[in-house]
Chains A and B, each alone.
Chain A
Amino acid sequence: MSVGAGARGELTRHDPRRPSDIRVDLRLIADMIQPESRVLDIGCGDGQLLRYLVQTRNVVGRGIELSQAGVNASVAQGLSVVQGDADSDLSDYPTQAFDYVVLSQTLQATRNPRRVVSELVRIGRKAIISFPNFGYWRVRWRLLTAGRMPRTGALDYEWHETPNIHLCTILDFVDLCDRLGARVERRISLTSGGRNSLVQRSLHVANLFGEQAVFLVSRPLPQPVP
């Protein structure tokens, strides 16, 4: 999605010509992915993560991207990417078609995040979801002290022009996973300085100090018949 692409470009500087030079949150996502697996990257932007995964993990990669420029750039590099929308196009895919489905910095811009997450864990054996954490202390502080909609590095928009229509906190996301019966296998919170091990310990600490979060979630296991 263009939103994801835009957010991805703004977070840290990177040189797209060097596959090893990849943004820190994308590197975290890549590290969760087993080599040779099948990966669907939703909102793949200009294909930075997909290209990295194909080159370094030898994955079978597919992408969905909303912006025409992103799709064209990806396909021109030989990546398999279709123009599409996380809200409307995921229902086409068969169940468990991929080992991993990645949704990076895009969930907050979807119209129906609950349906999107449930589709992610249906299509993929595992879903990797990253998003900006609205529980981050700077966000809380700005709203509390200035009484204005917060603007931070990860959320750098005026309220009236933001594409981010469904912001959530880390706690909110964990709650959504519970409601969907999805299992959180891993959770990594990123501070503005990158990964900080202290922040990972407690959910409430992570929710306060994490500027972004990366979750590895799997589909609900079939319930045993009582």
Chain B
Amino acid sequence: MPSQGHTVELGSDVPLKLDCGVKLGPFTVAYQTYGRLNEQKSNAVLVCHALSGDQYVASTHPLTGKPGWWHILVGPGRPLDPDRFFIICANVLGGCMGTTGPASVNPETGKPYGLTFPVITIADMVRAQAMLLDHLGIPDLFCVIGGSMGGMQALQWAAMYPERVYTAIPIACAARHSAQNIAFHEVGRQAIMADPEWRAGEYSLHSTTPRAGLAVARMAAHITYLSEAALRRKFGRKLQNRSAFTYGFDADFEVESYLRHQGITFVERFDANSYLYITRAMDYFDMSADHGALANVFANTKVRFCLVSFTSDWLFTTWEMREIVHALNAVAADVSFVEIETDKGHDAFLLDEPELHATLSGFVNAAADRRGVAPAPREASV
């Protein structure tokens, strides 16, 4: 699909004030756009990516050559149709695909930030995105949408900039990161930091990278994105290209081979320090922390919400999504909530789930009609 890749330097005049107190600026944001902003500037959609995602939401990934991570949902004739909407997806602050993160060079020292990069939060990511919108001259978003950490950003947008959000679609996320999820993230971080090649975060100065540690982090995390049922269905106890055990520690089982592959390919495209920073941002996420009750965050909100959860997602459970629904009901907000039956676990939000598509199409198009966004020209969506 035709898309445009851009980078922009932001915060050179007024730096971004981070939650940790550090003022960051200038910094770079790398983003992709699809479609065109209409004259009324009423059709902008911000897609927020997850922990291991990036701005290549619907275009071929430059490092892996794989299709965009949400090409199923973003494209002509899809729920987020570039013939109707102007779709923006930016690499998050702290990321490693062009936006400033720990692997970027600190202009003050001329060396990569490494662990001197300030710790960022989900709110900081959203503030950086808001600065990007300011730069693009977009007053408000028709829609902010994302799954997992992307869903956290969508919620944060609705909380922090309610006047700039017409609809918010948080998918498979939570209003606060659970103890279990923090625990899994800590396992991943410890795996990275235990790798001698990590070198206290300064691996790039030694022309090395903690491959083993990052791969293990990814393997552990990947298990949490699946479900026991999906693992059983896909792999069971099947052996990998062999008919008997080797009585050793080679990848005898298909599931082992699959996880190792996930780990190895991840290392090719992701920076280990970015993984530390972004998982930390998710751990710190707790919307009710400053407000007492979650409902207070959304008092008098005019944002129209559509929340989606998946039955077999044990990383961000339906129960956690329902907590947000309860809070929104308590302030009589305009909210829809759909739980989708699937055995695919947390990953379901990235997969071809017809119910998800029907829900998003219905919600997005009805809201766009209400806002007076012109529908996609028919011949263009063939």
Nearest CB in chain B: distance from A190 CB, A: 31
**Is the pair B304, A82 in contact by a Cβ cutoff of 8 Å?**
no
- A149 contacts the other chain (Cβ, under 8 Å)? no
B325 in complex: contacting residue of A74, A78, A82, A97, CB < 8 Å: A82
**Is the pair B367, A97 in contact by a Cβ cutoff of 8 Å?**
no
Q: Give every chain B residue within 8 A of A84 (Cβ-Cβ).
A: 325, 337
Main secondary structure of the interface of A (DSSP, over half): mixed
| Bound complex: CA A75 to CA B337 (Å) | 8
- A77 contacts the other chain (Cβ, under 8 Å)? yes
Q: Give every chain A residue within 8 A of B365 (Cβ-Cβ).
A: 78
**Is the pair B326, A75 in contact by a Cβ cutoff of 8 Å?**
no
- A37 contacts the other chain (Cβ, under 8 Å)? no
| Bound complex: CA A62 to CA B328 (Å) | 12
| Bound complex: CA A97 to CA B366 (Å) | 23
Task: Give residues 299-341 of B contacting A (CB, 8 Å).
Answer: 304, 306, 322, 325-326, 329-332, 334-341
A80 in complex: contacting residue of B304, B330, B341, B369, CB < 8 Å: B304
| Bound complex: CA A80 to CA B325 (Å) | 12
- A178 contacts the other chain (Cβ, under 8 Å)? no
**Is the pair B363, A78 in contact by a Cβ cutoff of 8 Å?**
yes
Q: Give every chain B residue within 8 A of A62 (Cβ-Cβ).
A: 334-335
| Closest chain B residue, CB of each to CB of A77 | B362
- B134 contacts the other chain (Cβ, under 8 Å)? no
Nearest CB in chain B: distance from A173 CB, A: 26
**Is the pair B359, A78 in contact by a Cβ cutoff of 8 Å?**
no
Main secondary structure of the interface of B (DSSP, over half): helix
| Bound complex: CA A74 to CA B337 (Å) | 10
Known: A92-B326, A93-B330, A97-B332. A78 touches B362 (CB 8 A): yes
B367 in complex: contacting residue of A76, A78, A92, CB < 8 Å: A78
| Bound complex: CA A79 to CA B304 (Å) | 11
Known: A75-B306, A76-B361. A82 touches B330 (CB 8 A): no
Q: Give every chain B residue within 8 A of A72 (Cβ-Cβ).
A: 338, 340, 355, 358-359
| Bound complex: CA A6 to CA B325 (Å) | 25
Task: Give residues 28-75 of A contacting B (CB, 8 Å).
Answer: 60, 62, 68, 71-72, 74-75
**Is the pair A92, B329 in contact by a Cβ cutoff of 8 Å?**
yes
**Is the pair B329, A76 in contact by a Cβ cutoff of 8 Å?**
no
What mask results when residues 37 to 51 of chain B are scored 1 for a CB within 8 Å of chain A, else 0? 000000000000000
- A5 contacts the other chain (Cβ, under 8 Å)? no
**Is the pair A82, B335 in contact by a Cβ cutoff of 8 Å?**
yes
A75 in complex: contacting residue of B329, B330, B359, CB < 8 Å: B359
Nearest CB in chain B: distance from A32 CB, A: 21
Q: Give every chain A residue within 8 A of B366 (Cβ-Cβ).
A: 77-79
Nearest CB in chain A: distance from B166 CB, A: 14
How many A residues touch the partner, as a band?
20 to 34
| Closest chain A residue, CB of each to CB of B332 | A97
Nearest CB in chain A: distance from B134 CB, A: 30
- A89 contacts the other chain (Cβ, under 8 Å)? yes
Known: A68-B341, A75-B306, A75-B338. A82 touches B329 (CB 8 A): yes
What mask results when residues 343 to 379 of chain B are scored 1 for a CB within 8 Å of chain A, else 0? 0000000000001001101110111010000000000
Q: Give every chain B residue within 8 A of A89 (Cβ-Cβ).
A: 326, 329
| Bound complex: CA A78 to CA B369 (Å) | 10
- A128 contacts the other chain (Cβ, under 8 Å)? no
**Is the pair B325, A94 in contact by a Cβ cutoff of 8 Å?**
no
- A118 contacts the other chain (Cβ, under 8 Å)? no
**Is the pair B336, A68 in contact by a Cβ cutoff of 8 Å?**
no
**Is the pair A94, B355 in contact by a Cβ cutoff of 8 Å?**
no
Nearest CB in chain B: distance from A120 CB, A: 15
B335 in complex: contacting residue of A78, A80, A94, A97, CB < 8 Å: A80
| Bound complex: CA A146 to CA B341 (Å) | 43
| Closest chain B residue, CB of each to CB of A40 | B332
| Bound complex: CA A77 to CA B358 (Å) | 9
Q: Give every chain B residue within 8 A of A200 (Cβ-Cβ).
A: none
| Closest chain A residue, CB of each to CB of B369 | A78
| Bound complex: CA A71 to CA B355 (Å) | 11
Interface centre among B306, B325, B340, B362 (most CB of A within 10 A): B362
Known: A77-B366, A80-B304. A93 touches B329 (CB 8 A): yes
**Is the pair B332, A76 in contact by a Cβ cutoff of 8 Å?**
no
Known: A75-B306, A89-B329, A92-B326. A80 touches B359 (CB 8 A): no
Q: Enumerate chain B interface residues (CB-CB to A < 8 A).
A: 304, 306, 322, 325-326, 329-332, 334-341, 355, 358-359, 361-363, 365-367, 369
22 intermolecular pairs with C-beta atoms under 8 Å apart: A60-B334, A71-B336, A71-B338, A71-B339, A72-B340, A72-B355, A72-B358, A74-B336, A75-B362, A76-B361, A76-B362, A76-B363, A77-B362, A78-B367, A78-B369, A80-B304, A81-B337, A82-B329, A82-B335, A82-B337, A89-B329, A93-B330
Task: Please name the 5 residue pairs, one residue from A and one from B, whose CB atoms are nearest each other, closest first.
Answer: A78-B366, A76-B362, A82-B337, A97-B332, A92-B329
